Amino acid sequence: MSNNRPVAACLAAALCLSAGCSKEYAHKRLQKGAAEFAAVQAMLDELRAAGKDGIEVVLARQIADGLDETRSKGLRYVLGELATAENVTLKRVDRWRSDLFRATMESTADGATGTVALLLVRGRDDKLYWANTN
C-alpha cells in the first residue's frame, strides 16, 4: 500500500521519544471513547475474528508499509499470537504525536496472562497501522 507515512521516520521518532529528546512529543493516555481507541479495538476485533486461517488477509490491511523483514516477521508473530489467544483485552492507547500511538493489551493463552505493547502509525488515509513491537 502506498497510503502509509514513512515508517522509518516514525520508528526513529519513537526511539527519540523513549530517549526524551524532543519537545514536539506530548504523551496523552486516550480515553476508551476516543476515536483512536475505538480504531485499535476494531483492528483487534477484526484480527481475532479472522483467526488462524484468515489472518494473512487482515495483516496485509493492518500492517504499515515499509517495514524491514525482521520487524515485519516479529510483528506478524505477535499479532498472530493475539489472534489465537483465549482472551485479549485492550487496556490502553497512548498518543505520543498526532501520528504515533502505543496500544497495550493483556492476553491469555494456555492459562497464562501477559501484556504486550505495539506501536501504531497514522497513515495518509488517516487510518492506524501496526508498525512495531514495543
Question: In this structure, is residue 95 part of a structural domain?
Answer: yes
Question: In this structure, is residue 2 part of a structural domain?
Answer: no
- Digit-coded pLDDT (tens) for 33-89: 999 999 999 999 999 999 888 999 999 999 999 999 999 999 999 999 999 999 999
Question: In this structure, is residue 90 part of a structural domain?
Answer: yes
Q: Which domain holds residue 117?
A: 7-17+25-133
- Digit-coded pLDDT (tens) for 78-134: 999 999 999 999 999 999 999 999 999 999 989 899 999 999 999 999 999 999 998
Query: What is the number of other CB atoms lying within 10 angstroms of the CB of residue 128?
Result: 21
For the chain, the domain total comes to 1
- Global pTM value: 0.81
- List, in sequence order, the alpha helices (H) in the chain: 7-19, 35-62, 69-84
